[in-house]
Structure 1
Amino acid sequence: MSAIPSALAGSVRPAAARGVHAAKIALAGLLLAGFALPLAVHDEFFLHSAIMVLYFAYLASAWNLMCGYVGQISFGHSVFSGVGGYCSVLLLTGLGLSPWIGMLVGGALAALLAVVIGYPTMRLRGPYFALTTIAVAEIVRIWVENTDLVMGISLKGAEGLRVPLVGTDWSLFQFESKVPYYYIILVLVVVITAMTWLMERSRLGVCLKAIRGDRDAAESLGINPTRYTLSAYALSAFMTALGGSFYAQFIRFINPERNMGTELSIDMALMAIIGGQGTVFGPLVGAAFLAPLAEVTRGYLGGQFIGLHLVIYGLVLILAVLYLPKGLWDPIKRLGAWLLRGRSTR
């Protein structure tokens, strides 16, 4: 009797492995094409759009580090992006420190904020945690919008901060063209994808999946849900802050509405969920599908129908929940397995 389940498992696992293998080959090809893209395309608008797609892919992957693997939905991750962005800009304009240093300082502050927020709220489950994250993010955003000076530091409230052009150099994070920004965000996407892959295979990833499956059962096995979830939350916040710093230096402007607003948090969450939360490549697929859609709707319909891309996101989310509950990454894996199986049969 025990041989039957093992035989079935043996037939299912190779198919799944073939699908993942084919998808990895395709993604490796896309990565090589991504590195070669600026050499073949010189259109500034196209490069800007590619940078924004990679930027959202990075943020969705950072959101996925905690929310995807634990199963807790956060709609307040934009606060970490704002902390990272404001920190890098203020350190540059106030102390003349390199934005690279500001990125790391902002990431550390965001991780500390995540621990402060997460320790009393990690015991909440389902919609209660999501509502709490929205409330905290909105409190911080409203405070920044209505604050001009903090300990002698000018935040300029809702007006936002502009990054002065002080030169074109790698140490200053300022360049004459968009190509260096493209390669920086591409490297960040590669780094966070590799980090997710390693985390999934580490003790932290195994414990997070156990907590997502059954929190009480995981706790009965000796897993401390609060400690592991807080660790993932701090890591996710740190990486999100790096993305916020990049955006501030790339756009050379930061304000509370765009960098700390709920809309950005929803973007991160929906891209990861629709792509396939709790997977390594799902957020990348979701961003590749939704980010260009958002750019098109904002560019062509934003003046007449503000927020239309969020309506489209909602429709896509409903369809994904009904017909693709595991996200877009799942059919891509199955398609890859089918193609490889057909090729091996021939």
Structure 2
Amino acid sequence: MKSSRTNINLVLGMPLLCAAVVLPLFVKDSYVLHSLVMVLYFAYMASAWNFVCGYVGQLSLGHSVFAGSAGYVTVLLFTGLGLSPWLGMCAGGLAAALLAVCIGYPTFKLKGPYFTLTTIAFAEIVRIWVENTDEFLGIPLKGAQGLVIPPSAGGWAAFQFDGKVPYYYIILAMLVVMLLATLALERSRLGYYLKAIRGDEAAAQAVGVSTTRYPLIALAISAFMTGLGGAFYAQFFRYINPERNMGLDLSIDAAVMAIVGGQGTIIGPVIGAFVLHPVSELARTYFAGRFLGLDLVIYGLVLIGAVLYFPKGIVGPLERLLQPRARRAATVDAPAARKA
């Protein structure tokens, strides 16, 4: 089964990756490149959300707090101390992981909707506090106004580029690393423990699997990755504020894309982002100015259709379609493995 799943992820993922690598060679329009960067960004954020929520089975709608907190740390270290955003991203990711441990330890003791509501509450508390705080311990947060990243001639060192292409390849590389981390999770003991907790928490606890410790480890890693994404977003727009970087919309988008694509799978969140974000962007671009709210209606209809016809995510039918091919590949490989 593991071999079949790996083959399916390769069959689905490799063509997407190859197309993504060469796409900027053919696309020169700045708006299209910007949209592609955002598709990859949401694919990355959905994959980071899926790292813990897809495998544990708990629905978190508070991941935006990790993206926003890491983004603020990165920007403040750059504007206040002149620290390179590359180092600031790592510091921001670690800050997000620490925050995740503080939030996750009490919340993982809650189940079902109580867990979800608590994650929303924590995220909203932090967002509202930042939104209403101009300065904290001498650190300028500027409240709802947000922070602007000043232009710099540092280029790569300052994480600032003239065009969209460098940002495109950076977020593409981050997405590949995120997918490799998810693949490693699936094959690791931690991944098996998380799947056991998702399948039957009481049974997992009965055989000695900690239902708090291992989800907390996964949450810390997920928060670190989410924090890196939040820092990238701030550098890409050269601006950060609570509503944009800590708002509930980001958490919902990441969760919805992962669920619609196929949570608990490697390639599912990527497929969800590649389907939903372009639909949302096209609907907003072509209908928002003419028919107020029609873009949201179209987006909602796509979500309803995906949930009704693909209850296990879009990746489910694709896996069933490719399963015979994966089985044949495994059958061909089996005799060679026995001879070896």
AA in 2 matched with 1:94: G
Q: CA deviation at 1:306?
A: 7.0
Q: 2:62 is paired with a residue of what secondary structure? A: coil
Q: 2:212 is paired with a residue of what secondary structure? A: helix
Separation (CA, whole Å) in 1 of partners of 2:102 and 2:142: 26
Structure 1 unaligned spans of 5+? 1-12
- Any conservation in 1 of the 2:7–2:326 contact (CA below 8 Å)? no
- Any conservation in 2 of the 1:114–1:234 contact (CA below 8 Å)? yes
**1:213 matches 2:199:** yes
Q: Which residue of 2 aligns with 1:162?
A: 148
CA spacing shift, 1:221–1:340, aligned 2, 3 Å: closer
Separation (CA, whole Å) in 1 of partners of 2:147 and 2:110: 35
AA in 2 matched with 1:199: L
Separation (CA, whole Å) in 1 of partners of 2:326 and 2:97: 42
Q: CA deviation at 1:329?
A: 0.5
CA spacing shift, 1:313–1:126, aligned 2, 3 Å: farther
Separation (CA, whole Å) in 1 of partners of 2:40 and 2:292: 23
**1:264 matches 2:250:** yes
Separation (CA, whole Å) in 2 of partners of 1:157 and 1:93: 16
Q: 1:170 is paired with a residue of what secondary structure? A: coil
The within-5 A match list for 1:43-54 is 43-54=29-40
CA spacing shift, 1:262–1:304, aligned 2, 3 Å: farther
The within-5 A match list for 1:104-183 is 104-183=90-169
Q: CA deviation at 1:290?
A: 0.5
Q: CA deviation at 1:141?
A: 0.6
Q: 2:243 is paired with a residue of what secondary structure? A: helix
**1:65 matches 2:51:** yes
TM-score, normalised by the number of residues in structure 2: 0.91
Separation (CA, whole Å) in 1 of partners of 2:103 and 2:156: 34
- Any conservation in 2 of the 1:270–1:313 contact (CA below 8 Å)? no
- Any conservation in 1 of the 2:279–2:299 contact (CA below 8 Å)? no
- Any conservation in 2 of the 1:158–1:257 contact (CA below 8 Å)? yes
**1:336 matches 2:322:** yes
Q: CA deviation at 1:25?
A: 2.7
Q: Which residue of 2 aligns with 1:323?
A: 309
Of 323-332 and 224-233, deviating more is: 323-332
- Any conservation in 2 of the 1:23–1:336 contact (CA below 8 Å)? no
The within-5 A match list for 1:274-289 is 274-289=260-275
- Any conservation in 1 of the 2:261–2:268 contact (CA below 8 Å)? yes
Of 84-93 and 316-325, deviating more is: 316-325
- Any conservation in 2 of the 1:115–1:233 contact (CA below 8 Å)? yes
Q: CA deviation at 1:314?
A: 4.2
Q: Which residue of 1 aligns with 2:284?
A: 298
The within-5 A match list for 1:1-16 is none
Separation (CA, whole Å) in 2 of partners of 1:152 and 1:59: 31
CA deviations over 1:197-235 (Å, ceiling 9, x no partner): 010110000000000011111000100010001001111
Identity of aligned residues (%): 61
Of residues 26, 29, 42, the one that matches 2:28 is: 42
**1:242 matches 2:197:** no
- Any conservation in 1 of the 2:287–2:295 contact (CA below 8 Å)? no
CA deviations over 1:46-93 (Å, ceiling 9, x no partner): 111110000000000000011000000011100001011111111110
CA deviations over 1:239-258 (Å, ceiling 9, x no partner): 00000000000011111111
CA deviations over 1:244-287 (Å, ceiling 9, x no partner): 00000001111111110011110000000000001111100100
Structure 2 unaligned spans of 5+? 330-340
Q: CA deviation at 1:330?
A: 0.9
Of residues 219, 224, 230, the one that matches 1:233 is: 219
Separation (CA, whole Å) in 2 of partners of 1:307 and 1:262: 19
**1:273 matches 2:259:** yes
CA spacing shift, 1:61–1:307, aligned 2, 3 Å: farther
Separation (CA, whole Å) in 2 of partners of 1:156 and 1:49: 29
**1:83 matches 2:60:** no
CA spacing shift, 1:123–1:308, aligned 2, 3 Å: farther
Separation (CA, whole Å) in 2 of partners of 1:194 and 1:291: 23
Separation (CA, whole Å) in 2 of partners of 1:304 and 1:156: 35
Q: In the comparison of the two structures, how many residue pairs are matched?
A: 329
Q: Which residue of 1 aligns with 2:333?
A: none
Q: Which residue of 2 aligns with 1:198?
A: 184
RMSD over aligned Cα atoms: 2.1
TM-score, normalised by the number of residues in structure 1: 0.90
